[in-house]
Structure 1
Amino acid sequence: MGLLSNRVNRGILKPGDHIYSWRTAYVYAHHGIYVGDDEVVHFTRGRGQEVGTGTVLDVLLLSSGPIRSQIACPVCSHRVEEDHGVTSSCLNCFLAGGILYRFEYSVSPALFLAKARGGTCTLAVSDSNETVVHRATYLLNNGFGCYNVFKNNCEDFAIYCKTGLLVTNQVTMGQSGQAISIIGGPLAAVLSIPLRAVTTNMYGMAATAVGVYCASRYAADIGMRPDVVKVEAEDLTARLATGGLQIVETSGVLGGGTALALPVR
């Protein structure tokens, strides 16, 4: 992986790779899992299934959908997009004319922070390629719930396939690093405003904003978050409404412990 780019040639792709391609002038990237034989499984805006924010940021929803070409793809033209939004397409249709990048796992903290833009790598450890492909193909048939640009998007889907981790706190954001970046930048700028009352040093305020931004990205990374739980695909018997899970305490003859409470639609 390069410091400035995760760009790769398609010839080195392996089944189980998490790949992405930038959309909308590098504002947002579309993510998916390469499962082999030139096929990518990815999470898109199923018909009427997206959940917006009610703000101008909803324009990002347009980047998550499959880009339609005027020329029918001989490989994908027979496939029907299901309501659950998890679909498969050939690599060319997934890229939609864009450049191929590979999302990296188990990166060092220094390299993670050096990547100023989120949504390109994570501190988390990936499971085996066989497990990743199994999750992706299982969800292709069973769905991944309701698309939400900040809590349950295409990057959240790909990260789940790679790690089996899901965020348990439905109030917070999902696993998506690019969503954290979109929110973290303005948040860091706002948090640096109080410094204007004690200093006029623009360099100091800029350094503080950068520090807040980096700290928020690091703490929110799926490899560092405490509010995640490992869930295998077979346990997702109910489609996830927003990508969240709740942990509930149990007690009784089994000795107690924790259990998953999956939201149903």
Structure 2
Amino acid sequence: MGLFSNRVSKDSLKPGDHIYSWRTAYIYAHHGIYVGDNKVIHFTRRGQEVGTGTMLDVLLVSSGPARSQVPCSTCIPPEEDHGVVSSCLNCFLAGGILYRFEYAVSPALFLAKARGGTCTLAVTDPDDVVVHRANYLLNNGFGCYNVFKNNCEDFAIYCKTGLLVLDKRTMGQSGQAVSIIGGPLAAVLSTPLRLVTTNVYGMAATAVGVYCASRYAADIGMRRDVMKVSVEDLTSRLATGALQLVEPSMQALPAPIS
């Protein structure tokens, strides 16, 4: 993997890898956890979300496994009660290219990869822990899909780190969701420059700066509003609707070093 691409070969995969594949002309990527034996556990919409009310609804359809007139001989049809499913690697990729998400990257590399949803500053847990979380959520669910607060990338990041944004009124862990919102936001915030300058390059530089700053501050490795939550505790809280309550069983994270 390099600065411009996280593309990898299938032969290089190991259980516990966070992988993804771009959908819809590189607008949206679908994420999952490779668990070995050519299987990927991932979180799909499955019709649970009523909709965002925006053009993004048409993109959400691409978050599911590949659809074919010929049923896959290895993939078992998923249950309808939750959106965590297991698919073979080919169905997960849906004809796309395989990429591996990077963890514990340096701030310089994070900012150099201008596209969100490809890497994070956060540190991953051991691979066996990651696979355990993914399999546990396959049987117990990950709540209701939401493109901004609880999507496939949020699922994969949680499996890798155990970190969760408890307040569901705020943005989730997803870097690509931040990118979707950050671009227009940066353009809006740079607009006042037109009152004092007509320099297009200056406005563009400001927009890029705002976008990079928003991505960096919103990364799961930098946020202060996240907690380390065990997967067993997570599913019990989802069942009771008490996810936002904080108890001693949840370990607060130290403030990031500035």
TM-score (norm 2): 0.92
Are 2:141 and 2:235, in contact at CA under 8 Å, matched by a contact in 1? no
SS, match of residue 235 in structure 2:
coil
Shift in Å at residue 67 of structure 1?
2.4
> In the TM superposition, what are the counterparts of 1:31-70 in structure 2 within 5 Å?
31-46=31-46, 48-70=47-69
Are 1:146 and 1:240, in contact at CA under 8 Å, matched by a contact in 2? no
Shift in Å at residue 184 of structure 1?
0.1
Superposed CA deviations along residues 52-89 of structure 1, whole A, max 9, x for unmatched, are: 2212222221121222111221111x333332100001
Gaps of 5+ in 2: 252-258
> In the TM superposition, what are the counterparts of 1:83-102 in structure 2 within 5 Å?
83-102=81-100
Letter in 2 for 1:34: Y
Partner residue, 1:103: 101
- Which region of structure 1 is more displaced relative to structure 2, 36-45 or 232-241? 232-241
Letter in 2 for 1:207: A
Are 1:15 and 1:34, in contact at CA under 8 Å, matched by a contact in 2? yes
Partner residue, 1:140: 138
Are 1:118 and 1:177, in contact at CA under 8 Å, matched by a contact in 2? yes
SS, match of residue 35 in structure 1:
strand
Distance 1:244 1:80 in 2: 27
> In the TM superposition, what are the counterparts of 1:212-227 in structure 2 within 5 Å?
212-227=210-225
Superposed CA deviations along residues 17-55 of structure 1, whole A, max 9, x for unmatched, are: 000000011100000000000000000112x31242212
Are 1:247 and 1:258, in contact at CA under 8 Å, matched by a contact in 2? no
Superposed CA deviations along residues 82-125 of structure 1, whole A, max 9, x for unmatched, are: 32100001101101111000000000000000001000000000
Aligned length: 250
Identity, % of aligned positions: 81
Distance 2:28 2:68 in 1: 20
Distance 2:178 2:243 in 1: 19
CA pair 239-65 structure 1, distance change in 2 beyond 3 A: farther
Distance 1:227 1:85 in 2: 25
Partner residue, 1:123: 121
SS, match of residue 30 in structure 1:
strand
Superposed CA deviations along residues 128-154 of structure 1, whole A, max 9, x for unmatched, are: 000000000000000000000110000
Are 1:166 and 1:245, in contact at CA under 8 Å, matched by a contact in 2? no
Shift in Å at residue 259 of structure 1?
6.2
Indicate yes or no: 2:17 matched with 1:17. Answer: yes
Are 2:43 and 2:84, in contact at CA under 8 Å, matched by a contact in 1? yes
CA pair 192-244 structure 1, distance change in 2 beyond 3 A: farther
Partner residue, 1:186: 184
- Aligned CA RMSD, in angstroms, stands at 1.9
Gaps of 5+ in 1: 251-256, 261-265
TM-score (norm 1): 0.90
Distance 1:120 1:54 in 2: 26
Partner residue, 1:263: none
CA pair 180-240 structure 1, distance change in 2 beyond 3 A: farther
Structure 1 segments of 4+ aligned residues over 4 angstroms from their partners: 257-260
Partner residue, 2:256: none
CA pair 197-231 structure 1, distance change in 2 beyond 3 A: same
